Structure 1
Amino acid sequence: MAKVTGIQQDEGWCYIGCSGCSKKIFREISSFTCVTCNETNVVAALVYRVILTVSDATDTAAFLGFDMEVAKLRNIQASKAAQIVGIGVDAQVDTDLPRSFAEIFGNTYTFQLKLKDFNFTSKHQTFTVSCVFPSKVHP
């Protein structure tokens, strides 16, 4: 269990991904290509990639949340929170942090993390969230 105390915005809060697999896609002159799906002309979609600053009674950490888990925190998909402006190589994401993110600050959640060997190296700075649950209030 940890309380959300902030969002690290230096790397943004979403990216343009494949609507089929959510992996990052490559921009071509007038379209997008998904290497994972091995397709050109894929439909682009905004996908959450949010680094949350969280804390508990012992320390502070950075948790990396992707699309579905962040959507659970906010009850809104990334595609509804912002938009892709332009097409092909000119495509950009409206990068202003949506005001609705303010609703999660100060809230406590139970985070399930996906840990791998690299999570225990000195260069690793974030832990990937695999599931988020609202914390139950105990009387």
Structure 2
Amino acid sequence: MVAWFECTTTIDDVVHGSGWYYIGCGVCHTKATKGSTTLMCKKCGKSEIVGVAHYLSKLSVYDHNDQAVFVVLGDVGEELTGKKAAELVERYYQANKNVGEDHLVPVPQAMIDAIGQIRKFIVKVSNHNLTGKTHTLTVTKMLPIEAPTPKINLGENVDEETDNERDDHADEAVKRCADGIESEGAKRAKCG
């Protein structure tokens, strides 16, 4: 069983203590495997690939009734932060040249800035989510929040016209319309 549903939640926190990205195949995005001197991709069957950072973040979220942990992958992470994971990881290592490659890169500020935001997600639920050890839900897409419809109060800020002003505007509109019809007719006569 696999089901998808849409939900609007508030981002409560970014789950700390685990990485917020993974290094995957640049072609198929499958998590890369370390070889003796290169990165490999089991899915593509290649023994030498270019590794690219992809989002794999856990967000604690809540609505009016429940709290859950959402796993944010790939493009959804980019939609959330406005930045590619590879860009954020590269910036971190450029700024911290003395750390080793196995160093745990801290959660970027762009992701922390999402805390407190209300977002609409499409979430995938499968048997694994209900029976597995982890009780996380995978986000497959992020949707825009609809802007609230502006409320118009018709009773305020209305300029009233007198009957004479209204008649003058109407006369001008009829005259402009008539002028347009006359000039169109004249154009047709010349072409015919």
Q: When the two structures are superposed, what TM-score results if normalisation uses the length of structure 2? A: 0.65
In 2, distance between residues paired with 1:53 and 1:77?
21
Deviations 1:85-126 (A, max 9, x none): 6xxxx8436511111112211111111111111222273310
- Residue of structure 1 equivalent to 2:28: 21
Give the whole-Å Cα distance in 1 for the aligned partners of 2:21 and 2:103. 8
The equivalent residue for 1:34 is 41
The answer for the alignment partner of 1:111 in structure 2 is: 121
Task: Measure, in 2, the Cα distance between the counterparts of 1:93 and 1:23.
Answer: 21
Unaligned 5+ runs, structure 1: none
| Correspondence 1:66 to 2:76 | no
RMSD (CA atoms): 1.9
Aligned pairs for 1:63-102 (under 5 A) are 63-83=70-90, 91-92=101-102, 95-102=105-112
Q: Is the 8 A contact 2:14 2:112 kept in 1?
A: no
Taking the aligned partners of 2:27 and 2:132, their CA distance within structure 1 comes to 34
Aligned in 2, Cα 1:41/1:93: closer, same or farther, shift over 3 Å? Answer: farther
Which residue type is aligned with residue 136 of structure 1?
E
Paired AA for residue 117 in structure 1: N
Aligned residue number for residue 178 of structure 2: none
Identity of aligned residues (%): 23
Question: What residue identity is the alignment partner of 1:77?
Answer: K
Q: Which structure's relative contact order is higher, taking Cα pairs within 8 Å and 6+ residues apart?
A: 1
Decide which of 31, 45, 50 is 2:52's aligned counterpart.
Answer: 45
Which structure has the larger Rg over C-alpha atoms?
Answer: 2
User: Whose strand fraction is larger, Structure 1's or Structure 2's?
Assistant: 1
User: Per residue, is there more helix in 1 or in 2?
Assistant: 2
